[in-house]
Structure 1
Amino acid sequence: MTLNSRKRLFPAVLAGSLLWTAAGLAAPPGTLPFGVYDPYGAFSDDPDVSIEHLFLPWQDVYLPSLAEADAYASERGRSVLVTIEPWTWTRDERNRPEVLIAGIQAGDFDGNMATICGILGGFQSAVTVRWAHEMEDRSGQFIWAGWTPETYIAAYRRMVDVCRAEAPEVDFMWSPLGLDRFEEYYPGDDYVDVVGLSVFGLQPWEQRVLGGERSFREILEPRYERALQFGRPIVVAELGYVGDQAYVDRWTDDVRQDIEGMPALVAVIYFNQTEVYPWPDGFGLPDWRIGFNVLD
């Protein structure tokens, strides 16, 4: 099914993405569809979860785990968002930007992408692929971030082309962090079915560094407004918040409700895991997990 045919079948959604239309139909009235990255299975029995988020590297990945993830999601009636990180999670000298850039340009990693997408193409669940996210972030967390826009766009397009050849039914999410000028990395309408954004709230950091707390909407809205120019559904692909009980309760209420004036926002997906990269200004590794994210 092509993107254009999906537009005709699902005219109510801006870009007509099959996965995100299905998620919207599954959501309770008056709420945004909800998904989770949930490696410990805390939401395994939650009927309100409609999207299962997976992270995997494209090197040294245990491929049989993908079939297990598909079975898990399919049993629960969930769509699947797969974030493919173009590196190995093992400490290795291959995890260097120059190695990754040269390898992508030479086609050395085409096989990695093709193998993973070949498996995803056989999933029972609807699948969206999110490749090399938060590409405009220059914090040093990701070896694929902070490249020139031209280099990143060429790499992204190449990987989508490779993946489409193996899995023509898969949708693709382009997913910046949401920093200023992220639109410079947009790879073009032919390569994006849905736009993902990241939204994290850390109350102690906001109080000390920003001088006051921020709400879910205050963080999301400027990113959302800039993403509207692409005419695609918008998803909060990574969400987390840590603070005192009142702060957590406010965020919990906000993120599940339809946001007035944000009709293109079609889902939010929670990152139910401890942070893996140190928060700036010495705030360590926030624990975003529900039930552990309330500070005394």
Structure 2
Amino acid sequence: MKLKGVLLIAGLVLVGAIVFYVKRFSPLSKSAGYATDVLNAAFAEQPVGYINRADSLGVTTPRLQHISLQLYPNIADGAFNGALRGLAGDKDLLLTVVAGQDGALGMVTEGTFDDALRSLCEALPDAKRIYLRWDPDMEVPVQRHSWQYQSPADYIEAFRHVAKFCKNARPELQIMWSPAGYPGTDEYWPGDDVVDAIGISMNGQSELAATAYPSDPDQRTALRRKLIRTRFIDKPVWVFASGGDSAVNTLLPDLKAAVADIKRDSGWIFQQYSINQPAGRAANALPLLGVYDPKLALTGSKSIHVEHLFVDLENIQTGGFAKDFEAIVRRGHQAIVTVEPWRDGKVRKDSSVLRNTVSGIYDDEFKSLFNTISKTNLPVYVRFAHEMEIPIHRYSWQSQDPVLYIQAFRHFMELGKGIRNVRKVWGPAGDRGSMEWYPGSDVVDFISIAIYGLPDKNITDPTKQESFETIFNRKAWRMRLASKPIFITEFGVKGPEDFQSAWLEKAAHVLAAHKEVVGACYFNLADNPEVWGDIPAPDWGISRSSLNRFVAALEDAL
């Protein structure tokens, strides 16, 4: 009995200790002593400056106090009161709030955090202005935090829930959407109706860990590019920086210089957007089907109505383009003409083909091209300097300044103005950050994206290729701010014939379902071996039988 009594007492002591620990330290406790546990040092940036288009793009040095808080589904009563005590009454307040548990985006959308959000809103002081910044740096392709590099649609849904809930509780709150400003920023844009301000960051730990894109050469360039990535969104922008006062003081002159650059180029940079369903083909109509088919293996099919030509400066100068184009017209086909502004046969040496374009150096060649195009009444889809956004140097116009690209694209299309059969095509690959290079709705009739099943050049197993649907959904989402119809001017899959046919049949169902896709052009050739080095270049070529199966599947799906 004595032993049992001792064990009982020991058990009670142990239970008491556990309860004390849970109450004192657990993030799910209801103890008022838990107040300090909501503080979070992961986002301790300082404000560098504030920019607003409405204020003529001047840089204002802000007076802003910043507190970063961690949110839990079952937050302690009064937990926020201590964390928010002692704030400076003469400063505005930036409140970074993170919900970092695994699966938190879905939990937020389902309302699991609503009680915690309500408690936070009730505890907020009567500051001059309070900015609520929720789960920042979401677009950076790392996973330091659970909400990063997730589905843009999932993030947006959760963000909108938080914004609407908190605005309802505290209407005077300013809701801040805060990407890092990394390539792909606009993919996570939640909408004008739930955002009052934007915050972008410099030197954050997440971005320093990211390796998907090369670093900018200096801070001024980095700031300029980050601000350009918010170009469609007419909201005030805050710039934050990690580090002490010296880091902020160093960044301020660079920010002012970057903003001065943007102000100079604002006519090219700032554009309106509308996320609407773009115009497309009629309900039961097939998309226009085409091929890039230099060997003419599929060109004679009755299902093909478009042929694709890749044209460089020398092709135009030697008359090769006119000859090839006229052959397409004789076959009664429309044409896609992809203009590659390089390989100048006149030996005008200059590494900047885009600057040469803007300067008018190639005007004679471009005017000749448009003159050839004007000799037919058939529509001609003219695509200039494609895949400009991929961070490589396969083409001379890739990885260049987006404003210079925009100027070059607009100059080129201006030379074809008034030619009635020209259809203006802007042709990114559809990779992250594509919209940074968007030249403007007035010079774009169609957006072209490229869909190749191979996600990585080192993959040799054809079954590891992505589906057409997966690639299309990802890339079409990135084009949503333009609201333009889509012409898939390049797509292809490698592998055995049965695999290619099955992949294409599934692609047909996607094309049938998306009326915004007005055309699709298959790349019926192997890729350029020079680009692939020691790895065999993928052969996208298909048989006439595979083409027929694709067309039949498309007709059946309508």
TM-score (norm 2): 0.44
Q: Output the aligned Cα RMSD.
A: 3.3
Once the 2 structures are TM-superposed, how far is the Cα of residue 41 of structure 1 from its aligned partner? 1.0
Distance in 2, Cα, partners of 1:124 & 1:203? 39
Q: CA offsets per residue over residues 83-102 of structure 1, 9 Å max, x none?
A: 110011779783x633x233
In 2: Cα distance, 1:65 partner to 1:279 partner: 24
1:159 maps to 2:390 = no
For residues 209-224 of structure 1, the aligned pairs below 5 Å read 212-224=464-476
User: In the alignment, is the contact (CA less than 8 A) between 2:485 and 2:517 conserved in 1?
Assistant: yes
Contact 2:429 2:449 survives alignment (8 Å) = yes
Measured in 1, the distance between the counterparts of 2:322 and 2:315 equals 16
Single out whichever of 209-218 and 271-280 deviates more from structure 2: 209-218
- Please list the CA deviations of residues 187-244 of structure 1 after superposition, one character each: whole Å capped at 9, or x if unmatched: 1100100000011123895756999431111112110122132121102111111123
Give, as a single letter, the amino acid of the residue that structure 1 aligns with 2:452.
F
Paired with 1:231 and 1:216, the residues of 2 have a C-alpha distance of: 21
Letter in 1 for 2:466: R
Local SS of the residue matching 1:160: helix
Check if 1:140 corresponds to 2:393.
Answer: yes
Taking the aligned partners of 1:157 and 1:204, their CA distance within structure 2 comes to 32
1:259 aligns with 2:511: yes
The residue type equivalent to 1:86 in the other structure is: P
User: What is the match of residue 244 of structure 1?
Assistant: 496
- Superposed structure 1 runs of 4+ greater than 6 Å apart: 89-93, 208-211
Deviates more, 1:196-205 or 1:169-178: 196-205
Q: Report the secondary structure of 1:242's partner residue.
A: coil
Tell me the residue number matched to 1:8.
Answer: none
Seen in structure 2, the aligned counterparts of structure 1 residues 63 and 203 have a Cα distance that, compared at 3 Å, is: same
Q: Tell me if the contact between 2:379 and 2:422 (Cα under 8 Å) persists in the aligned partners.
A: yes
- C-alpha change, 1:184 and 1:281, in structure 2 (3 Å) is same
Q: How does 1:17-28 map to 2 (within 5 A)?
A: none
Structure 1 residues 254 and 89, CA gap change in structure 2 (3 angstroms): farther
CA 1:42–1:244 in structure 2 vs 1: closer, same or farther (change >3 Å)? closer
Q: Percent identity?
A: 25
Shift of residue 168, structure 1, vs aligned partner? 4.3
Q: Distance in 2 between matches of 1:247 and 1:91?
A: 45
Unaligned runs of 5+ residues in structure 1 are: 1-12
Compared CA separation, residues 281 and 193, structure 1 to 2 (3 A): same
Distance 1:86 1:140 in 2: 14
Residues 65-104 of structure 1: per-residue CA shift (max 9 Å, x gap)? 444444433344321111110011779783x633x23322
The offset of 1:62, in angstroms, is: 5.4
Range with greater deviation from structure 2 (232-241 or 275-284): 275-284
Q: Provide the rounded CA distance (Å) in 2 between the counterparts of 1:218 and 1:89.
A: 38
Partner of 1:55: 310
The aligned runs of 1:1-296 (5 Å cut-off) are: 14-15=278-279, 31-61=286-316, 64-88=319-343, 94=349, 97-98=351-352, 100-164=353-417, 167-202=419-454, 205=457, 212-259=464-511, 262-276=514-528, 278=530, 283-291=535-543
Does 1 or 2 have the higher relative contact order (CA < 8 Å, sep 6+)? 1
TM-score (norm 1): 0.78
Secondary structure at the aligned position of 1:87 is classed as coil
How many aligned residue pairs are there? 269
One-letter code of the match for 1:178? G
Distance change >3 Å, CA 216–CA 14, structure 1 → 2: same
Q: How many Å separate the matches in 1 of 2:299 and 2:363?
A: 34
1:146-198 Cα shifts (integer Å, max 9, x gaps): 11111100110011101225x34311100001110101111110010000001
Separation in 1 of the partners of 2:356 and 2:322? 28
* Residue pair 1:114, 1:163 contacting (<8 A) in 2 also: yes
